[in-house]
Amino acid sequence: MKRVLVTGAAGLIGRHTIEPLRARGYEVHATVRPGGRRPPPGSDVTLHESDLLAPHAASRLFERLRPSHLLHLAWVTEHGAYWHSAENLRWCAASLELVRTFFERGGRRALIAGSCAEYDWAYAHRHDRVGPLRPATLYGACKRALHLALERWAPDLVWVRLFHLYGPGESPRRLFPQIATALLRGQRASCRAANLVRDLLHAADVGDAIAAVLDAGVRGALDLGTGRGVELGAFALAIARACGRPDLLDRETVACDPSRPRVLVADTRRLREQVGWRPRFDIESGVAHAVAALSRAAGERR
């Protein structure tokens, strides 16, 4: 029996892992913070209230549930603040304990969310591709530190470095909902960094990829992305077209620098060759899907 415990299941990525995990035969359990967000209604998942930053919380849960698999996505994610918040240190410490107790209580395999912020963006700035692991932010450093400590110990661990994503469930302050919400209201919207090239996945594809990687048995670290960059300006234009208002979109460019490289694209060789995963959406179909979902949600709120 495959029983997976998902942390961060109410988040942008976590909510999109539940169905793909079910489809691969997992019994899905998820932690939710007391009083915190829940996965969308109708999700086929058993919820367990647990504050993962509280001592022994994880260990008690493992004792009771005995999950065979762990999918650890929870982390400080507050838009903007997460780059330099001391909460990163707390999540790094709590994650070490979470993964250690998972395996010590008989867990078989764990997948943990890493980040493209573990890479040296100054190198990416110079070479237009990801290079050495030299994080420049506290967030990137704590993710890198967690992997560094665990990789030599955990018996069966896969570390997934996430690149950029968009889709249903995003914080309204992120690029996609900002532009789409304005345009759907008939207001002007601006893409301020139209010249940046990023590797953008629809969140449903991220969720599916994560379930595929967990199930595939591949170990070590891998990048999760499409492997192809798209200019944010083109992404914004796809949003505007899906909203039917390309006339309301402004596009500006920014100066690139070592902390804001022009190109940041995943190296997807391992994902393609060892997991055999490919995205379902391209930018046009993904954006159209996400705009439809946003539009539907806005309609329901009215």
Positions in 25-84 near a copy of itself (CB under 8 A): 55-56, 84
Indicate the residue type of 45: V
Least CB distance to a copy of itself at residue 174 (A)? 24
Q: Closest CB to a copy of itself among 53 and 248?
A: 53
Q: How far is CA 258 from CA 75, 126, 264, in A?
A: 25, 8, 12
Residues 130, 133, 139, 143, CA torsion sign: positive
Does residue 237 touch a copy of itself according to CB under 8 A? no
Q: Closest CB to a copy of itself among 91 and 176?
A: 91
- Residue 127 CA to residue 150 CA, distance in Å, equals 29
Least CB distance to a copy of itself at residue 64 (A)? 19
Give the three-state DSSP class for 39.
coil
Least CB distance to a copy of itself at residue 164 (A)? 22
Applying CB under 8 A, the site for a copy of itself has a residue count of 28
In this structure, what are the phi and psi dihedrals at residue 175, rounded to the nearest 5 degrees?
A: -55, -55
Q: Which residue from 30, 124, 146, 242 is in contact with a copy of itself, where contact means CB under 8 A?
A: 146
Does residue 153 touch a copy of itself according to CB under 8 A? yes
- Supply the DSSP symbol for 271: I
Positions in 88-127 near a copy of itself (CB under 8 A): 88-90, 92-94, 96-97, 100, 104
- 29 neighbors 70 (Cβ within 8 angstroms): no
E strand intervals along 168-280 = 189-191, 197-198, 200-202, 220-224, 230-231, 249-251, 263-264
Residues contributing to the site for a copy of itself (CB under 8 A): 55-56, 84, 86, 88-90, 92-94, 96-97, 100, 104, 135, 137-138, 141-142, 144-146, 148-153
